[in-house]
Structure 1
């Protein structure tokens, strides 16, 4: 009888059960929907070999994490720091049909052979837009709004604090949270439903929806109590490779790493904003001539589809895609040449 019990236990704790209990995460990326793929086995996180890894597999990861559509299959080596040498590579030869709810349901090989961390798989998913800051001077400052049942609504200041603001700033790819307050003046008050109140974040959550709160719209708040958040301006700019600080290939600093800007939609108004922000004079070279002069960069491409009116004081105030989202190569890096003399 004892032997039969142990045989049943051995069968019930075999590979199928271990796979169903595994989980997945994306690490070291610009947000929780992009990064190096890691799966958890027996309480330990390990990487995924990119042998056989494709966009269908990424789509399953995106679904499991509650992210949007699959954007790409970047190499896991793009996300620094790299996996530690003693961290295992858990699976390889992943083969999903795209209909699975979790990566554990896909065909995969647990017997990893001849695969190392220079072959770690990465994944890039769209970020579902569930939170935003509106009516501020830029996308990183404004009234907090969340999306529920396809409708945007406000968040009550009751229970709100700087830890919750920190989560919002992180989720939006902005800098650290600087300030949070209630919208006492009518100029910043919202309309429609007040969706959330008594939001209680630890500050470590990846999304605001991960923080405990009262049930949706269960509150007696008015729009005078709408939460307002100011995040740090994440844009630090420089022009590199030129003869002076006002000429070169454009680089922006994000999460401690410099990266380039794609030229999709880039024009003279965007040039004007950068030259102004850097304290330089008017743009001198045409965009095409500047690109040819300074050539392509290396490393991350942080920004794409930047749109400025030309009146902004900072590139941060211009519209753009989420950090790290692009369909560009470094042949499309923005380069520019401003006058080194600021107009009087």
Structure 2
């Protein structure tokens, strides 16, 4: 019988609250993150008196509802006309150490009417399904796009800055932002929806969805205003023109371009690090003068005088000259053959 009682009570309690004896909601606003504060306690919904209402308490309600930070703490008549006349009024005193509104103590003094009801306006979190950079030379450079309601759309440059780019680069697993352009070239512009504008990140957010922004789809932008970002690339390595991924000319990705590696000082230890990073087994022993060639590169020569100890898990960990500093030609491009 006890279990049946709690099951029935849980059904009567609004969906989303794990505790059937407690809940909180915002009523009368334009969305679930705005409105009159109501507390489910002792089997009934009641409003909250504004006598002890403060921003810290409203922020706690915003967190409980999984909304964004508190923006306003309206009190009085803004949302109260829709409250039932006989609805209970909770007069709560919160100390600031509570985790939920229900943990706050009740004042012995009652509130007279619903004209003293407390309210809260929280930021509405973005329900983005994905973020990406497209039409650039790599995954860390391109036009900013977000996925919403199953469709990819662009981000308007209105309000867009390096703090926003910092959050996006981190979310995509790229390095720090190197450039953010306020408009794309004609051939780099998007064609679909323009989902976001007025994005205002602080720079510490884990995702673009955690940043305040104008309501999705509400803007006066055109695709001339599409935002473009270049993030620092993470290290990438490949073997090309060898017929498979385990043999070929060594190329590394840097600043949006693939480039070759000069063979100055290159030997078996460097071969082995490359094969290990490519998950291609052991390296085929090759003498410098008889090393197999796989054509000449056409892009930049990024690395020279590479020196590995042989225990590195990536070529990035080996010593080398500064990126792009060399005294080589593409006739000195190094190649590697692994047993695969």
TM-score calculated relative to the size of structure 1: 0.38
Give the structure with higher Rg (CA).
2
TM-score calculated relative to the size of structure 2: 0.39
